[in-house]
């Protein structure tokens, strides 16, 4: 569903590399050429992209859990089918993204191990619980909405495999976003209890969604090189602003109140929001959000309890291969 500007700086090791090649590489980036897996690239570019794409993939996979939490309880068969299809899509997005990350030379198993051990991150938003059905609508509307804001520019990212994955992901994601908004419309036109459920979900998700765009520009550690390399095309704050400006009229349409009494529209028409609680953001990234432990525990449990199944598949594939070899030898 989403990648986040959580990358911490890795240090810059381009100094040890061939300056001429680095210049050539930058010239290709500047000319808006796409970098492909067999092309030369600076080690730091490879590392940054591996981290960003794999975090994005982890987010898709962990993101199945908060929504998956409501599949068995979805209130109508139509909603249940849509939600199941959506979660299935997310798993598919995870698979595209792992494949894109693997073109940079790290295996999916290594990347997944990084996530399970807590070394690699996933989007902070999935550490919040889905407490009511309205949360499913809100996730579609706001979380997918924020993801799209972030991913559309990534469709033009300098690394070809990532950009192409994003084009496919964005198509499906916009569909999910509309479905989510439609759930909200239905709730807001429904009973007083349903409307209250929708407002409560917005109250709980609004600030965490704004945090999805990452820290404010003045403290974002990774933006300089990412911008220069055209991995990132807009700053965190620019995207956040774009999202808020697009979302405020949608909330008005729904008759819902954005839980920011200090928010006001400035002369340019942009909505200025109140300060974001960056301490909460840091706590969630540090593993102390409301669901961090549950999410990781669920992924680890699936991985560990599935080990015998994966081993069986491997053992069978081996047996089959040796039987075929023996047959061929006869």
Partner 1 sequence: MATANIEVSETPLVLYALRRADDALILGHRLSEWCGHAPAMEEDMALANMGLDLLGQARELYSYAAKVEGKNNDEDKFAYLRDVRQYRNLLLVEQPNGDFARTMVRQFFYAAFADLYWRAMMASSDTTFAAIAAKSEKESAYHVRHSSEWIVRLGDGTEESHRRAQDAIDDLWAYTGEMFTVDDGERSLIDAGIAIDPATLKPRWLKTITGIVNEATLALPKSDWMQQGGRTGSHSEHLGHLLSELQSLQRTFPGATW
What is the C-alpha separation between 130 and 274, in angstroms, rounded?
25
* 10, 22, 28, 71: which one binds partner 1 (CB under 8 A): 71
26 vs 194, which CB is nearer to partner 1?
A: 194
Angle between helices 160-188 and 77-102 (to 10 degrees): 160
90 phi, psi to nearest 5 deg: -60, -40
* 10, 33, 65, 250: which one binds partner 1 (CB under 8 A): 65
| Residue 76 interacts with partner 1 (CB under 8 A): yes or no | yes
193 vs 279, which CB is nearer to partner 1?
A: 193
Q: Give the residue among 128, 126, 134 at the shortest CA–CA distance from 74.
A: 134
Angle between helices 236-254 and 160-188 (to 10 degrees): 20
* 174, 194, 200, 283: which one binds partner 1 (CB under 8 A): 194
193 vs 267, which CB is nearer to partner 1?
A: 193
* 81, 131, 219, 297: which one binds partner 1 (CB under 8 A): 81
Q: What is the DSSP letter of 120?
A: S
Q: Please state the closest distance from residue 158 (CB atom) to partner 1, in A.
A: 27
Instruction: Please give the structure tokens belonging to residue 293.
Output: 């432990």
Q: Taking CB under 8 A as the rule, which mask of x and - marks residues 101-140 in contact with partner 1? A: --------------------------------x-------
Residue 299: CB partners within 8 Å, gap ≥ 6? Answer: 61, 62, 65, 115, 116
Q: Cβ(212)–Cβ(139) under 8 Å?
A: no
70 vs 243, which CB is nearer to partner 1?
A: 70
Neighbours of 314 (CB within 10 A): 10
What is the C-alpha separation between 44 and 8, in angstroms, rounded?
12
Q: Please state the closest distance from residue 83 (CB atom) to partner 1, in A.
A: 9
Total site size for partner 1, rule CB under 8 A = 48
Segment lying near partner 1 (by CB under 8 A), choices 58-66, 113-121, 171-179, 204-212: 58-66
178 vs 301, which CB is nearer to partner 1?
A: 301
What is the C-alpha separation between 40 and 36, in angstroms, rounded?
9
Segment lying near partner 1 (by CB under 8 A), choices 8-16, 143-151, 189-197, 199-207: 189-197
* 38, 191, 266, 268: which one binds partner 1 (CB under 8 A): 191
* 51, 58, 79, 176: which one binds partner 1 (CB under 8 A): 79
- Residues of 16-29 as b/e, b for ≥16 C-beta within 10 angstroms? eeeeeebeebeebb
Q: Please state the closest distance from residue 317 (CB atom) to partner 1, in A.
A: 8
| Integer Rg of the chain from CA | 22
Q: Cβ(39)–Cβ(24) under 8 Å?
A: no
70 vs 271, which CB is nearer to partner 1?
A: 70
- Residues of 216-247 as b/e, b for ≥16 C-beta within 10 angstroms? eeeebebbebbeebbbbbbbbeebbbbbbeeb
238 vs 294, which CB is nearer to partner 1?
A: 294
Q: Taking CB under 8 A as the rule, which mask of x and - marks residues 273-312 in contact with partner 1? A: -------------------------x--xx--xxxxxxxx
Residues that bind partner 1 (CB under 8 A): 61, 64-65, 68, 71-81, 84-85, 87-88, 91-92, 94-95, 98, 133, 183, 186-187, 190-191, 193-194, 298, 301-302, 305-316, 319
């Amino acid at each position: 569903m989403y990648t986040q500007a959580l990358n911490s700086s890795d240090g810059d090791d381009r100094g040890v590399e061939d300056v001429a090649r680095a210049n050539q590489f930058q010239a290709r980036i500047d000319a808006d050429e796409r970098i492909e897996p067999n092309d030369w690239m600076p080690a730091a570019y490879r590392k940054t992209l591996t981290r960003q794409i794999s975090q994005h993939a982890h987010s898709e996979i962990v993101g199945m859990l908060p929504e998956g939490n409501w599949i068995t309880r979805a209130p109508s068969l139509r909603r249940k089918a849509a939600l199941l299809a959506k979660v299935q899509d997310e798993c598919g997005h995870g698979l595209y993204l792992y494949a894109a990350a693997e073109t940079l030379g790290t295996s999916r198993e290594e990347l997944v191990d990084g996530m399970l051990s807590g070394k690699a991150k996933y989007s902070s938003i999935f550490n919040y619980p889905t407490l009511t059905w309205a949360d499913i609508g809100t996730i579609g509307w706001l979380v997918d909405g924020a993801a799209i804001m972030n991913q559309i520019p990534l469709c033009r990212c300098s690394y070809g495999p990532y950009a192409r994955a994003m084009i496919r992901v964005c198509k499906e994601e916009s569909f999910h976003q509309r479905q989510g908004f439609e759930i909200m419309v239905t709730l807001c036109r429904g009973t007083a209890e349903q409307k209250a459920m929708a407002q409560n979900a917005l109250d709980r998700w609004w600030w965490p969604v704004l945090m999805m765009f990452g820290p404010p520009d003045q403290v974002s550690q990774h933006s300089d090189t990412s911008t220069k390399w055209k991995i990132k095309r807009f700053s965190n704050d620019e995207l956040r602003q774009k999202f808020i400006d697009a979302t405020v009229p949608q909330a008005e349409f729904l008759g819902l109140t954005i839980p920011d009494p200090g928010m006001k529209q400035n002369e340019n028409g942009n909505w200025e929001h109140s300060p974001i609680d960056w301490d909460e953001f840091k706590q969630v990234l540090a593993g102390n959000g409301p669901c961090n432990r549950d999410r990781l525990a669920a992924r680890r449990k699936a991985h560990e309890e599935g080990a015998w199944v994966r081993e069986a598949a491997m053992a069978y594939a081996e047996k089959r291969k040796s039987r075929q070899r023996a047959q061929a030898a006869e």
